[in-house]
A and B are shown apart, each in its own frame.
Chain A
């Protein structure tokens, strides 16, 4: 048996911890800090989702249910602590969310995990709808439309940590994120984690060896819900408000996008996805109204051309990197980047023109596009952007074969060296 604590692992996780601790020293603005906190929560949530999709092969469309229920239980716990009906350190409150997630995961998972594959996807969606609809029905617990507000500065401060300032909340989130990451990584190396992979890849064979596949799915689902609940608890502490949207279908869909864009085939894929999606959501929404459309299209492009997500694209370059041949790819990638930039510039301009054309304000529809003034009321702007877009498509088409050729040459070289 291989030792659990190898030097490599200790160094790696130590570096991760250092990075998380040093981040607020680099990004000092309050905007960046709240975004980093949001990312930490998203990372836990996306990783817990990948325990289902990536590791057990369960495509769930209702994972936000456990995240949201964890958040609601934590919000109520904070309120009870505030009313001094109940004593509990705020630092450990996310654990309450985790336990809530676990309990509901055990309960609802018992029903959903009896089926796998497509029926599971549908059933998880149905359960999510049911919980979301009940959330608006039971107003005493879920607070109806307004949700439940709470206050994280409750109980006595321990070592001067009151969780008033955002920086303290950041460290709380990152601490939990770090622990959860290690726990979820460790889980992939346990017999249960390995059995989950077996159940994903060949349930019949797993059954034949004598494992109960339903029970493996159920256990994984419950554990995933536990981690999702922790994430939800952190969200309750971070935002100090929990609404029914937290457990809604949009939130569930969002985590699917995060995990899949990042890549479900690798443990660290969803981390990339969570960071990227959070970044895109808060950055893009400042610049354009059409960001959801771009986001959806980006997702479709990933599915059609790189179903392994971004993590898989990175993993493809690993042998090239270790053979230090990356410089051979640089010229073709540069060409592809330019071609892609031209196409995207044309495409974004077209979409933005449509948006501004449809906009309600009638006086002037002119708008600034990367410093360029475009007027959707004049035909020449439409023709111009369309030409840029068409040229871009042609360029991308050409660049694809250039990149393909570069890779072909490289594969020959790699095979000669015996790397692949």
Chain B
């Protein structure tokens, strides 16, 4: 029970972090039809900027400034990069973001080196929030959840309750009409791209110190975020939310479970000789399969339901 509750809490905080990334990705996708390969790179930049600004002004201002800088960077990417490439079609746009991810990783190597940087959680949050049976639950995890949920609420309110949110929603489905009504749709696109990048940056700020801040962090999380978006259905925020929680839970639980088929067979009273050719296969533990699980899930989903959990768009 203790194991289950703690892992559940961990998976919740991880799933919410995934949602911060996938929400921006899915918004950008449904608006511009661009799958942003550099999205996870913005996450990484968020962590590094927070580390760097944190050295001078401390964690709390960095929490505010780092996402802003990343957002500005995203706006510049859209304005000077994607908009130029747009006339060449979607493949060129996709490859542009792919190349950008490549370049960002190299620039990070250039400035901060290949080794992880020492980005730590702030002192104020370095205490035990509560003790569950015998496990001490760190306050920072709670803080992560708080920020994610706060951001989720803010995103929801902005999209549904404000004027700009309504313009964004209208531009999703009827860009021509919105343009005829006198709104600057390209600027709305830029804003959405910047907003998505800033969200990814914020996720980087609070995720970078909880996990690890290193040049490989973008590729590590990048493909998981794609799985989340494909699993939840392209362009569906609700689908992305559900998928984030499901994939977060699957990853966290499977890492923690150290059982293999051998144990199951053992319980059923079947012994497999260690000399058998199948012994290697049966002895793979669930935790060993953890990296494959999300992808396997995605493939299964695509076979059963190609448009994803809550997707509406066919292609």
What is the interface of chain A, defined by CB distance below 8 A to chain B?
53, 57, 59, 61, 111, 114-119, 121-123, 125-127, 129-130, 133-134, 136-140, 249, 253, 256-257, 260, 290, 292-293, 296-297, 299-300, 303-304, 307, 351, 354-355, 358
Contacts and interface: CB of A to CB of B under 8 A. Distances in A.
A138 B289 CA distance: 10
Given A61-B98, A111-B303, A293-B103, 20 more contacts: A118-B35, A118-B234, A122-B229, A123-B230, A123-B299, A126-B223, A126-B298, A126-B299, A127-B295, A130-B295, A133-B292, A137-B288, A138-B280, A253-B102, A256-B95, A256-B98, A293-B106, A293-B107, A300-B81, A304-B84
Interface stretch (B59-67, B86-94, B168-176, B196-204): B86-94
Contacts of A138: 280-281, 284
A126 B234 CA distance: 14
A115 to B, nearest CB: 6
B92 A303 contact: yes
B110 A137 contact: no
A134 B106 CA distance: 27
A114 B302 contact: yes
Which of A61, A297, A304 is most buried by chain B, counting CB atoms within 10 A of its CB?
A304
B178 interface: no
Given A116-B315, A304-B84, A358-B111, A123 B298 contact: yes
28 contacts: A61-B98, A114-B302, A115-B306, A115-B315, A117-B90, A119-B234, A122-B35, A122-B226, A122-B229, A123-B302, A125-B226, A126-B298, A127-B295, A133-B292, A133-B295, A137-B284, A138-B281, A257-B99, A260-B95, A293-B103, A293-B106, A293-B107, A296-B103, A296-B106, A300-B96, A303-B95, A304-B84, A355-B110
Interface in B273-291: 280-281, 284, 288-289, 291
B110 A354 contact: yes
Which of B81, B99, B103, B306 is most buried by chain A, counting CB atoms within 10 A of its CB?
B99
A111 B302 contact: yes
Nearest to A112: B302
B119 to A, nearest CB: 18
Contacts of B96: 300, 303-304
A292 B94 CA distance: 20
B85 interface: yes
Contacts of A116: 315
B299 A111 contact: yes
B296 interface: yes
Given A123-B302, A303-B85, A118 B94 contact: yes
B227 A126 contact: yes
B280 A140 contact: yes
Contact of A134 (B84, B226, B292, B303): B292
Interface string B115-151: 0000000000000000000000000000000000000
Given A115-B315, A133-B295, A253-B102, A293 B110 contact: yes
Nearest to A133: B291
Interface string B44-84: 00000000000000000000000000000000000001001
A300 B99 contact: yes
**Chain B interface mostly:** helix
Which of B219, B289, B296, B302 is most buried by chain A, counting CB atoms within 10 A of its CB?
B302
A114 B229 CA distance: 17
B108 to A, nearest CB: 10
A139 B280 CA distance: 8
Nearest to B303: A111
**Chain A interface mostly:** helix
B186 interface: no
A107 to B, nearest CB: 11
B223 A129 contact: yes
A290 B110 contact: yes
A129 B295 contact: yes
Nearest to B34: A118
B165 interface: no
A249 B219 contact: yes
A16 B299 CA distance: 43
Contacts of A53: 91
B246 interface: no
Nearest to B279: A140
A358 B117 CA distance: 14
A127 B299 contact: yes
B82 to A, nearest CB: 10
B100 interface: yes
A44 B303 CA distance: 31
Contacts of A351: 110
Nearest to B96: A303
What are the 3 tightest A-B residue pairs by CB atom distance, in nearest-first order? A130-B295, A293-B106, A133-B291
A290 B298 contact: no
B88 A307 contact: yes
B103 A137 contact: no
Contact of A115 (B110, B223, B227, B302): B302
A122 B230 contact: yes
Contacts of A140: 280
A59 B91 contact: yes
Contacts of B110: 290, 293, 351, 354-355, 358
Contacts of B295: 126-127, 129-130, 133
